[in-house]
């Protein structure tokens, strides 16, 4: 009898175990299915309408660790796809449940929880701040110190997504003690940790000088420069970007980057096959040389000008834009550096860019760089003028399709170059079909050249320049009127009067009204006049001599 009872109880317990096991498998299958569905953006809206967040929420506290883990992954994928679902997770207070006792969870759950934080923070600064206020940032920093590389990677991801939004959030990450663990992560052997850590550092230091200085003080520069020696393209890209975001803020920070001995290694990355690496390396050079003469000179001393010109002449990628900007910064610091830029045939290649490019932002930067090159002396300006660039600048300035920024840059470049230009062959054509704001600079140069150069005065007359000046209608008392007066004083009054407006018409009228004052050799007489007879006899003799 007792044996039968025991047998029945055993069957009943087995049945309950089977039911519970089926329930557990069903929960796990459900969560796995949601993970699979949420991997495709086409399913996101449908999952949202079914109230999927409410169904997943209880499973986050499931007694089975694997179900908790998969539930966190499902929530992360949903939040990553849709900001509305990310907001729904916040509204249902899932964050506190997610982070509760996270220090006691296994590494798989921690990675999944950090993925949720990252997926929410990426959408907006408001959502990122909510994560910070819910103790999420402190959790992330603690996970940066975890022994498992995967947890460190997930924490660095989440930290970067918080810091990238604005200066305040980046400052909060630094205040939470994130810098030291991030720098240590850069020194890990795993490539993916190096990459994500460099990206997070870049996201922090890009916002302000103060934040960049904190990154420098944490010893990040030397580690980032060492990372550049790695052959992995992703690590190179993130390290260069971080260094660029430091150098851009001030001359002191740029010097700190240079002192880490990045040259000439960074120049080799300008010609790197990967276009993104080439672009960021060129941007780093641009950010360094823009601050002051000494840094620009350093770049030139390492052969940076030739490297940049080579990139402009061979590449059509976005790296070319940074290279053009870098040349403009270098040339703008001094006339010697500008002459070095000219000596590297930069003007020829910039002229080609002006002729071939149709992108407004490329043309704008190129025009600005040309202005920086030609603004120093008459020799610099002549080099630009001889390349026939002035007319192209004028064409872009007058083109109705050009943006206001491009027109402003053309105006500024023309002003800078024309105020130094003494090459009369280039100046004279600029008298025709130009706006008054450009014309005054052309006339200003002629008013300086003509009083001291007889050859220029002769050429000015024969080329039609003086005639064109007389045709200009200038308001009395204006700058243009004053320049015209100075120019006219360089020539005799009769020449000025000859080319003055209406003078040829008055000459023709005078011709029509003029009474001839010829002295006739012969008076009109009758045919019996001896003179007429003698003339007739002469003609007759001529006729006879023909035969």
Query: Within this chain, do residues 415 and 445 fall inside the same structural domain, yes or no?
Result: no
Q: Give the other-Cβ count within 10 Å of 344's Cβ.
A: 20
Give the whole-angstrom CA distance, residue 441 versus residue 385. Answer: 14
Domain boundary among 385, 420, 455: 420
Query: Within this chain, do residues 412 and 427 fall inside the same structural domain, yes or no?
Result: no
Give the whole-angstrom CA distance, residue 479 versus residue 441. Answer: 10
Half-sphere exposure of 8 (CA within 13 A, CB side): 5
Whether 133 is covered by a domain: the verdict is no
Where would I find the beta strands (DSSP E) of 16-89? none
**Averages of pLDDT over each 10 residues, the chain, 547 residues:** 61 69 82 84 79 86 87 91 90 88 89 94 94 93 93 95 96 95 93 94 96 95 93 94 96 95 92 92 96 95 95 87 96 95 94 91 95 94 92 90 93 92 86 84 90 88 86 85 90 82 60 60 47 43 42
Q: Which distant-in-sequence residues (6+ apart) come within 8 Å of 353 by Cβ?
A: 312, 320, 324, 362, 363, 366
Whether 389 is covered by a domain: the verdict is yes
Query: Within this chain, do residues 440 and 478 fall inside the same structural domain, yes or no?
Result: yes
Query: Within this chain, do residues 297 and 380 fall inside the same structural domain, yes or no?
Result: yes
pLDDT of residue 542: 45
Q: Give the other-Cβ count within 10 Å of 495's Cβ.
A: 14
Helix (H, G, I), strand (E, B) or coil at 206: coil
Q: Which distant-in-sequence residues (6+ apart) come within 8 Å of 164 by Cβ?
A: 170, 203, 206
Tokens of 52: 């999927």
Q: Which domain holds residue 315?
A: 293-420
Closest by CA position to 238, among listed 170, 185, 291, 305: 185
Query: Within this chain, do residues 462 and 382 fall inside the same structural domain, yes or no?
Result: no
Give the whole-angstrom CA distance, residue 180 versus residue 381. Answer: 52
Tokens of 542: 């001529």
Give the whole-angstrom CA distance, residue 353 versus residue 158. Answer: 42
Tokens of 303: 């052969």
Query: Within this chain, do residues 330 and 402 fall inside the same structural domain, yes or no?
Result: yes
What CATH number is associated with residue 334? Answer: 1.25.10.10
Whether 55 is covered by a domain: the verdict is no
Query: Within this chain, do residues 342 and 409 fall inside the same structural domain, yes or no?
Result: yes
pLDDT of residue 341: 95
Whether 113 is covered by a domain: the verdict is no
The DSSP code sequence of 380-425 is HHHHHHHTTHHHHHHHHHH-TTS-HHHHHHHHHHHHHHHTT---HH
Query: Within this chain, do residues 328 and 351 fall inside the same structural domain, yes or no?
Result: yes
Whether 127 is covered by a domain: the verdict is no
- Region for 51 from its dihedrals, namely left if φ exceeds 0, alpha if ψ lies in -120 to 50, beta otherwise: left
Query: Within this chain, do residues 399 and 475 fall inside the same structural domain, yes or no?
Result: no
Query: Within this chain, do residues 413 and 449 fall inside the same structural domain, yes or no?
Result: no
pLDDT of residue 31: 85
pTM of the full predicted structure?
0.83
Domain count, the chain: 2
Whether 481 is covered by a domain: the verdict is yes
pLDDT of residue 514: 58
Query: Within this chain, do residues 415 and 442 fall inside the same structural domain, yes or no?
Result: no
Whether 465 is covered by a domain: the verdict is yes
Query: Within this chain, do residues 400 and 305 fall inside the same structural domain, yes or no?
Result: yes
Whether 482 is covered by a domain: the verdict is yes
């Amino acid at each position: 009898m007792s044996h039968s009872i025991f047998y029945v109880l055993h069957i009943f317990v087995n049945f309950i175990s089977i039911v519970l096991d089926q329930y557990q498998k069903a929960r796990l299958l459900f969560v796995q299915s949601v993970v699979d569905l949420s991997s495709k953006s086409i399913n996101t809206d449908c999952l949202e309408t079914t109230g999927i967040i409410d169904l997943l929420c209880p499973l986050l506290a499931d007694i089975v660790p694997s179900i908790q883990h998969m539930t966190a992954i499902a929530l992360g994928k949903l939040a990553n796809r849709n900001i509305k679902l990310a907001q729904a997770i916040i509204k249902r207070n899932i964050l506190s449940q997610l982070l509760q006792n996270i220090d006691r969870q296994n590494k798989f759950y921690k990675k999944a929880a950090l993925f949720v934080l990252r997926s929410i923070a990426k959408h907006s600064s408001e959502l990122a701040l909510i994560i910070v206020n819910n103790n999420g940032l402190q959790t992330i920093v603690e996970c940066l110190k975890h022994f498992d590389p995967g947890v460190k990677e997930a924490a660095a991801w989440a930290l970067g997504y918080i810091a990238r939004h604005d200066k305040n959030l980046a400052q909060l990450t630094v205040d939470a003690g994130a810098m030291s663990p991030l720098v240590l992560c850069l020194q890990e052997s795993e490539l993916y940790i190096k990459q994500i850590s460099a990206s997070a550092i870049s996201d922090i230091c890009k916002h302000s000088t103060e934040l960049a200085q904190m990154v420098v003080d944490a010893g990040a520069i030397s580690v980032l420069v060492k990372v550049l020696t790695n052959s992995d393209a992703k690590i190179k890209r993130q390290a260069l970007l971080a260094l660029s975001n430091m150098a851009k803020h001030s001359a002191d920070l740029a010097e700190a980057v240079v002192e880490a001995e990045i040259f000439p290694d960074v120049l080799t990355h300008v010609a790197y096959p990967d276009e993104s690496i080439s672009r960021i390396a060129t941007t780093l050079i641009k950010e360094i040389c823009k601050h002051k003469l000494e840094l620009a000179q350093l770049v030139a001393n390492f052969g940076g000008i030739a490297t940049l010109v080579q990139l402009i002449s061979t590449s059509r990628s976005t790296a070319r834009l940074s290279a053009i900007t870098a040349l403009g910064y270098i040339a703008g610091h001094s006339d010697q550096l500008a002459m070095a830029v000219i000596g590297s045939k930069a003007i020829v290649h910039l002229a080609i860019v002006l002729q071939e490019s149709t992108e407004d932002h490329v043309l704008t930067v190129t025009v600005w760089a040309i202005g920086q090159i030609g603004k120093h002396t008459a020799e610099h300006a002549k080099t630009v003028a001889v390349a026939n660039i002035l007319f192209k600048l004028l064409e872009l300035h007058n083109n109705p399709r050009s943006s206001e920024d491009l027109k402003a840059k053309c105006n500024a470049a023309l002003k800078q170059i024309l105020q130094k230009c003494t090459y009369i062959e280039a100046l004279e054509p600029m008298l025709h079909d130009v706006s008054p704001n450009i014309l005054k600079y052309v006339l200003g140069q002629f008013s300086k050249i003509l009083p001291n150069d007889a050859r220029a005065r002769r050429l000015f007359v024969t080329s039609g320049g003086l005639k064109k000046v007389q045709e200009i209608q200038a308001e009395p008392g204006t700058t243009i009127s004053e320049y015209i007066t100075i120019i006219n004083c360089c020539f005799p009054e009769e020449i000025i009067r000859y080319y003055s407006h209406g003078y040829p018409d008055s000459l023709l009228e005078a011709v029509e009204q003029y009474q001839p004052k010829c002295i006739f050799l012969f008076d009109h007489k009758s045919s019996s006049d001896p003179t007429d007879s003698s003339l007739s006899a002469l003609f007759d003799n001529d006729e006879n001599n023909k035969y």
